Amino acid sequence: MPFNPQLSTRRLLAAFGCFFWCACLALTWPAPLVAQIDETPIEDPNPLVAVEHEAENERIQRIKFLLEQGQPDQALAMLEPLLESGSDAPLADAFTLLQAKAVQAKGETKHAIIILEQFLEEYPISSRTDEARLLLGQLYIQTTQANRAITVLTNALNRSLDPTTQTQGWQLLRQAYELKGEYTKAVQMALKQMNKTPDDQRGELIDYIQGLILQKMSERSLGDLLDTFSTKFPGDLALIRLIELHTAQGDEVLAERDIQAFLHRFPNHPYAQTAVALMQSFISKIKAHQYVIAAVLPFSGKMKPFGSDALNGIRLALEEGRTHLGSNTLGIVVKDSAIPPAQLPHEVEQVLREFKPIALIGPLLARQVQQVADLPDWAEVPFVTPTASISNVKQFGRFWFSTALTTRLQVTKLVDHAMRTLGFSRFCILAPDTSYGRELARNFYDIVRRNGGEIIAAESYQRGTTDASAQIQRLKDRDLSLYGEMLPFEYPDTQKAPKPGEEQLVYTPGFDAMFLPGHPTDVAFLSAQLAYFDVKTPLLGSNTWNHPDLLKWGRSTLERSTFGDALFLQSTDPDVQEFIQKYREKFQLDPSIFAAQAYDAMRVILDTIRHGATTGREVRDQLFIRHDFPTLGGLAAFGDGGVLDRKVYMIQVANGRFVQVN
């Protein structure tokens, strides 16, 4: 039949009309009839299935009863024919879980673990997965597999809102973290469990936390716990424990520091009266010493690790000094500098008035130096900052000194090595576009020019960049306009040379080295990109290069590159190695540059006392005129800006390793 457009259209309209009428009829159907249809029970087409389910449930209850009665062999005998039906059989997940419990009851823990791991793979949406995860976590703990236990138990807690599952999960998780030695996390799990526990049932959990603090936690883990709960329970218990430990050890420095922290953080605590009494006792002991040295360092907040390192260096030098000057000669008072800026000058002034120290070490930060800038001259007490990167601390007064590796000192030593030892004279700069990077670039430019060198070009890059090709191309273009060349590529003997006129030209830099300070990840990436653009010159870096990951990320493109630092753990200097060994023995960790520079600050002060200084003014006078202060790098003196002209170790990348070259 030929196609008829009009007929087709009429048919479509008729069909649509029929559909519309049916839809309207469905919407207007009496409601009671719909309800009657919905409530009509659906009969099981196979009544035998319901009977079989009931029988299987009876078997499950019987197997559970056998397990409760301590008869796992009989339970397994009942399970064996049921498990043969396969994973698709009704209640197969229940039988598999019971099998794991029966095997566990027989003491076959490893076999039970295998069954439960298979259970979670085969029945990922079973209603019994929570129970399986909890049991598997418990078995992992029994077999000292803490990491696996933490993973499976965390999964259980993340997937379930059931209160019982949550409670059991937290309880097992704290056992797993305790097994791993992560006591702070174990405490956190106990606290989560406590939040869901009625007040009258929390005693056991509090006893558990106290037991960890008193019996298992080391000084380091107590410090971690205190960082996590700095002004609330159980931070108070951790701090009390630290006070007790340091008092028992006779460590006046740390005990006094912890008591001050406790009174600041928990002024209304029941233990506060005891802390005040202890504090008064320590103050009397400190004042009884012939000479008192103050230390103003951060012992809380983000800067706490650096303050702790610096204090460790001070304590090590103090211990050595007491062997020469006598234990009753030297006392030290510490003050936490991690307080509001407006409060810091008042707190430091109070220390100066009460203890009358012969010298003060600190603060660490340049902005804090400025906040207390007028106090040294007012009190006639020399302040020695071990880390503030200020090239001229004398601008703040006659009693200011520094043992820090300042930006200018670092660059001065690097340029001196590059120009005098390596014979370089022409340089390019590629520095991060940060305040620190800009300061390094300015100093490098200035010091190279003062020494008769030449800066060909300078560019900056964004921290974390993945593309500095534009900057590198501008450096090349500038160099090509002065000294760089495009020379024919020299083919190896084994390769056929190109025909005349077909030579490949390659960029040959006209400068000797590239100054590339920055974070190790940036330096590794940029060194590779420089090599890609044929900028194949030695690189010069900052002390931020002193990181093992730098070699892991950019070993091949950093060969022959050099940077400087005030501390090198692989140094060939015997004095440095002796310091590192003593530090490791006392504190069970490697010293940082903060520890080394604070160690030098304390040694310098103690050396003035050994040479007869009895007042702050006399200490200051010696710091001005002497040139033989003992430091880790050898004898040294303070320069015109008040900064110690310390040795900076030149470290080169050679054969994929850091090697000291001076």
**Domain boundaries along the sequence of the chain:** 55-212, 408-491+500-565
Which pLDDT belongs to residue 54? 66
Cβ contact 623:382 at 8 Å:
yes
User: Residue written as tokens 């004095």?
Assistant: 575
516, pLDDT greater than 50 = yes
> Residue 84: pLDDT band by 50, 70, 90 thresholds?
confident
> Mean per-residue pLDDT for 423-452?
97
- Across the chain, what does the average pLDDT equal? 88
User: Residue written as tokens 């440095």?
Assistant: 576
Strand partners, 631: 634
1, pLDDT greater than 50 = no
In degrees, to the nearest 5, what angle opens at C-alpha 509 toward C-alphas 508 and 510? Answer: 120
> Mean per-residue pLDDT for 464-484?
94
Q: Which of 63-67, 254-258, 411-415, 650-654 has the lowest mean pLDDT?
A: 63-67
Q: Which of 53-67, 172-186, 300-314, 392-406 has the lowest mean pLDDT?
A: 53-67
> Mean per-residue pLDDT for 602-611?
97
Which pLDDT belongs to residue 43? 44
User: Residue written as tokens 């007042």?
Assistant: 615
Strands (E), 550-611: 562-565
In degrees, to the nearest 5, what angle opens at C-alpha 472 toward C-alphas 468 and 476? Answer: 170
501, pLDDT greater than 80 = no
Which pLDDT belongs to residue 476? 95
**What percent of the chain shows pLDDT beyond 70?**
88
Which pLDDT belongs to residue 554? 66
**What percent of the chain shows pLDDT beyond 90?**
73
> Mean per-residue pLDDT for 223-251?
92
Q: Which CATH superfamily is domain 408-491+500-565 in?
A: Response regulator (3.40.50.2300)
437, pLDDT greater than 80 = yes
* Distance, CA of 174 to CA of 187 (rounded, Å): 7
Residue that wins the pLDDT comparison between 425 and 160 = 425
Strand partners, 332: 293
Which pLDDT belongs to residue 584? 97
> Residue 393: pLDDT band by 50, 70, 90 thresholds?
very high
Assign 7 to helix, strand or coil. Answer: helix
Q: Which of 43-52, 90-99, 141-150, 444-453 has the lowest mean pLDDT?
A: 43-52
User: Residue written as tokens 């001050």?
Assistant: 260
DSSP 363: -
* Distance, CA of 330 to CA of 500 (rounded, Å): 81
Which pLDDT belongs to residue 42? 40
12, pLDDT greater than 80 = no
> Mean per-residue pLDDT for 172-179?
95
Q: Which of 196-200, 217-221, 458-462 has the lowest mean pLDDT?
A: 196-200
Q: How far is CA 267 from the centre of its chain?
A: 30
> Mean per-residue pLDDT for 177-191?
94
Residue that wins the pLDDT comparison between 450 and 1 = 450
> Residue 55: pLDDT band by 50, 70, 90 thresholds?
low
8, pLDDT greater than 60 = no
Residue 662 class from Cβ within 10 Å (0-12 exposed, 13-18 middle, 19+ buried)? middle
140, pLDDT greater than 60 = yes
19, pLDDT greater than 60 = no
441, pLDDT greater than 70 = yes
> Residue 328: pLDDT band by 50, 70, 90 thresholds?
confident
Which pLDDT belongs to residue 70? 83
214, pLDDT greater than 60 = yes
**CATH topology for 55-212?**
1.25.40
Residue that wins the pLDDT comparison between 100 and 502 = 100
Cβ contact 344:337 at 8 Å:
yes
284, pLDDT greater than 60 = yes
Assign 333 to helix, strand or coil. Answer: strand
Assign 56 to helix, strand or coil. Answer: helix
pTM: 0.79
Which pLDDT belongs to residue 494? 54
Cβ contact 129:162 at 8 Å:
no
Which pLDDT belongs to residue 343? 95
Residue 312 class from Cβ within 10 Å (0-12 exposed, 13-18 middle, 19+ buried)? buried
